[in-house]
């Protein structure tokens, strides 16, 4: 098992290239199950979750050909299995997004109940209830979701009682090959959902309302091959910007999409960062200043992303003044706070709200990752701590960040990966 050893206190300066978005890549890869032909997906991040998804597709009979440019060619012409087994699904909650494509293409699916980060309830009933409106019959038994639609899927109207990203993606993919028109209301508006929709359109789908909370889909008999490039990862980009701001440094992010990062950039400006945006870059400069504490409440896009909450906890821990951070999306997403408190942070956790009083510097300590974004926050805390910080269980961070330690070293961080 790997760990990071971080010796903090270094200001970060330089340039970082942002990788493709994991949360866009996974459903897009799942969508290729619906295409009886060759497709090419570009700008894939090199991550454990992406590798797992490709293994899952291969297990189902998809031909997978990776190249060294971050692209993959897939051919699902000879789909041979509709089972997503536990041994692959257990580490990746996003694997639930193969449910919709399998039902659309093969009219049946068996998907193991997913695993992944333990950050709170993300119920699959929203997916099941919505797919039932498209004519799917379900049973949940032996740890598997088993769905059948012997006569194929039929277009229908789905109104989500609460916004769900993966639920929207699953129903969107299923609707593409359903007979007639489907309408999805209270759909998630995240850029990753729009990227999936644009990918499906490139493959021949008919979708209106992309980027809004109402999607209209006119079913087509079949999709065809094509090429799609995955959008940049706004969460990776935000994480590096917070790391640089916390260390009072400056950096330029390249190959990013500033339009997807509005709430993050606004809070960084409130923290005292000078921010300049171009078509595909962001420059941030703290001019050596200590950041100011900010108040945050997570929300669905275009609000402040829950996936950036933990990183701003680390920022507020060493910021000037008092800050408040409230988590509204997942009820169990404050598990990083006891670990950061071990490093001296002054945090009063009351329910889903953390009240922070910033201190000048944290103290290095052994800490343990509990989930993907918590891992990132502990790395950031180590960067601004006095002495040595050891972050254990970094397999969590490898699920969502491509070679994070290498990118941080290029900015001047003293961080190394050690295999135990």
Question: Could you read off the pLDDT of 141-153 as tens digits, one per residue?
Answer: 888 899 999 999 9
**Whether residue 122 has pLDDT greater than 60:** no
Q: What is the pLDDT of residues 345-394, one digit of tens each?
A: 999 999 999 999 999 999 999 999 888 888 999 999 999 999 999 999 99
pLDDT, position 332: 74
Q: What is the pLDDT of residues 202-249, one digit of tens each?
A: 999 999 999 999 999 999 999 998 999 999 999 999 999 999 999 999
pLDDT, position 6: 98
Cβ-Cβ contacts under 8 Å for 370 (sequence gap 6 or more): 118, 335, 336, 339, 393, 396
- Decide: 212 and 185 in contact? Cβ < 8 Å: no
Residue 314: CB atoms within 10 A of its CB come to 29
Contacts 24+ apart (CB under 8 A), 132-136: 133/157, 133/158, 134/158, 134/171, 134/174, 134/175, 134/178, 134/182, 135/178, 136/103, 136/174
> Would you place residue 115 in the very low, low, confident or very high pLDDT band (cuts 50, 70, 90)?
low
Residue 322: CB atoms within 10 A of its CB come to 13
Q: Which two tokens stand for residue 119?
A: 């950050």
Helix (H/G/I), strand (E/B), else coil: 347 = strand
**Whether residue 116 has pLDDT greater than 50:** no
| Active-site hit among 117, 189, 199, 256 | 117
Q: Is 277 a catalytic residue?
A: no
Q: What is the pLDDT of residues 325-338, one digit of tens each?
A: 999 998 778 889 99
């Amino acid at each position: 098992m790997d760990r990071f050893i971080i010796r903090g206190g270094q200001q970060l300066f330089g340039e970082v290239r942002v990788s493709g978005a994991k949360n866009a890549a996974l459903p897009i890869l799942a969508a290729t199950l619906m295409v009886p032909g060759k497709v090419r997906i570009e700008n894939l991040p090199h991550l454990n979750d992406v590798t797992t998804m490709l293994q899952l597709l291969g297990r189902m009979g998809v031909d997978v050909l990776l190249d060294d440019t971050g692209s993959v060619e897939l051919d699902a012409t000879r789909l041979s299995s509709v089972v997503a087994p536990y041994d692959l699904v257990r580490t990746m909650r996003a694997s639930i997004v193969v449910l919709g494509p399998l039902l659309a293409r093969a009219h049946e699916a068996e998907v193991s109940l997913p695993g992944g980060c333990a950050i709170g309830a993300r119920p699959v009933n929203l997916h099941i209830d919505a797919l039932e409106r498209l004519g799917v019959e379900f049973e949940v038994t032996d740890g598997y979701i088993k769905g059948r639609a012997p006569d194929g899927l039929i277009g229908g109207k789905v109104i989500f009682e609460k916004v769900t990203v993966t639920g929207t993606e699953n129903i969107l993919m299923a609707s593409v090959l359903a007979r007639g028109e489907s309408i999805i209301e209270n759909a998630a508006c995240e850029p990753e959902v729009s990227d999936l929709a644009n990918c499906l359109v490139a493959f021949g789908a008919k979708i209106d309302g992309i980027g809004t909370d109402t999607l209209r889909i006119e079913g087509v008999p079949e999709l065809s091959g094509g090429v799609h490039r995955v959008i940049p990862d706004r969460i990776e980009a935000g994480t590096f910007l917070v790391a640089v701001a916390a260390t009072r440094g400056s950096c330029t992010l390249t190959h990013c999409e500033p339009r997807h990062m509005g709430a993050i950039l606004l809070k960084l400006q409130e923290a005292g960062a000078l921010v300049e945006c171009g078509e595909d870059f962001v420059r941030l400069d703290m001019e050596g200043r200590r950041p100011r504490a900010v108040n945050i409440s997570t929300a669905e896009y275009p609000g402040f992303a829950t996936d950036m909450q933990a990183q701003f906890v680390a920022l507020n821990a060493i910021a000037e003044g008092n800050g408040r951070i409230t988590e509204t999306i997942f009820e169990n997403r404050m598990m990083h706070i006891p670990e950061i408190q071990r490093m001296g942070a002054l945090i009063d956790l009351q329910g889903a709200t953390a009240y922070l009083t910033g201190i000048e510097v944290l103290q290095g300590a052994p800490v343990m990752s509990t989930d993907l974004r918590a891992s990132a926050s502990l790395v950031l805390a180590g960067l601004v701590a006095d002495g040595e910080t050891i972050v254990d269980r970094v397999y969590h961070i490898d699920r969502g960040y491509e070679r994070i330690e290498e990118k941080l070293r290029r900015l001047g961080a003293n961080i190394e990966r050690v295999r135990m």
